[in-house]
Structure 1
């Protein structure tokens, strides 16, 4: 599965969100740390949706328009893990 993830830099910290998964966010001191955290957050979010019997939103393959120079959006590929495979 591949989801678009948007990364934002604010001062000395980074944040990330997944437009297709409202509420799926991560914050950290470096982009690399946030990349790890948001990947874990996506897996956890999808697992929670499935356990609750809710539909998992299909990934969007289009990158959204970047709002500022401190925001970048990328597509992150996830390998199926445990309950979310």
Structure 2
């Protein structure tokens, strides 16, 4: 059994997985208010906290809400886009 670094008596401990709680704790986020304040950009900057973790937080704290991060643009254009410019 893994031990959580999150405070035992937090209202989030029974609602989020240990993996998400540990990632939040490493970032210094220990309360529901801090999670709400950090949503979504600061949460996604947290090491070990990706879209799956974000979806879990959304399901618990933001029901019905779904943040969609912007797509990253690549430095080099694809061949099809280069051909379409001709």
So what's the TM-score if we normalise by structure 1?
A: 0.28
| Structure 2 length-normalised TM | 0.28
More relative contact order, 1 or 2 (CA 8 Å, 6+ apart):
1
| Structure with greater proportional strand content | 1
More helix by share: 2
